[in-house]
Amino acid sequence: MTLEPLTTLSPLSGTDGSQTAASGNSETAGGDWLSLSRVIHSRRSIRRYSSRPISQELLTTLLEAASWAPSAHNRQPWRFCVVTSTEATARLSAAMGEQWRADLSADNADPSFIERRVAISHARMTGAAALVIASLTMSDMDRYPDPARALAEWTMAVQSVALACQNLLLAAEAQGVGACWMCAPLFVPDLVRRILELPSDWEPQALITLGYPAESKQKERAPLDSRVVWR
């Protein structure tokens, strides 16, 4: 199914800024839901991209959508690093690949398997038009003296960043841009901070590759009743 890009990323707002769905216009709200549903159901993890670049204006639009995700206490603990230069992408990919190679070797993995996995990861990263590294910071979050509440607060920040990433993925789909969510930075946060010269309080959580798709995918989901209980 080919998805036409949406004309707006805010299904509640009309072109004049009016709150169409919220104002009780059921016909408009129904159309908004159909558009949103198509985006949700069409989104796939795309790993192969064309050589077409993504404009900075469009990247800004996607990040703006990400920034409207809900967050704990509305503290918005997400931070994003956008990588578009081929040199920086290659540098990051090479450094992450070397660490992964070392980790897999320590696990006694087969050398040919290691090289294949590292090569695939390198191709995915360097083949993207842009990378977005999503991080969290605890700088504006509440602080507690006990470990239990401190962990809960940190987890709320993690969930907030994840929600922002989902907004970004859906916005990309709506704009005809492919994306893939990767959690590799969780394994090498210090390396990612060092290579990209990120602030010391940024905790890398995910890497999202972006580009115009050079592949299409079909996926299924488990039956809803296998994942839901009603009480």
DSSP string for 107-125: TT--HHHHHHHHHHHHHHH
Query: What is the residue-averaged pLDDT of the chain?
Result: 90
Residues 6+ apart with CB under 8 A from 137: 77, 79, 157, 199, 201, 202, 203
| pLDDT tens-digit series, residues 149-197 | 999 999 999 999 999 999 999 999 999 999 999 999 999 999 999 999 9
Checking phi first, is residue 108 left (phi over 0); if not, alpha (psi -120 to 50) or beta?
A: left
Count the Cβ atoms, other than its own, within 10 Å of residue 13: 15
Residue scoring higher pLDDT (12 or 183): 183
Provide mean pLDDT across the span 25-45.
87
d(CA 180, CA 169) in angstroms, rounded, equals 8
pLDDT of residue 29: 79
pLDDT of residue 98: 97
Provide mean pLDDT across the span 189-206.
98
> Is the dihedral angle over the CA atoms 121, 188, 76, 148 positive or is it negative?
positive
Q: What is the pTM of this model?
A: 0.86
d(CA 165, CA 185) in angstroms, rounded, equals 14
Beta bridge partners of 135: 79, 204
Domain 46-216 grouped into CATH 3.40.109.10: yes
**Which residue is listed with tokens 């191709």?**
123
Q: Is the pLDDT of residue 59 over 50?
A: yes
pLDDT of residue 120: 96
Q: Where are the domains of the chain?
A: 46-216
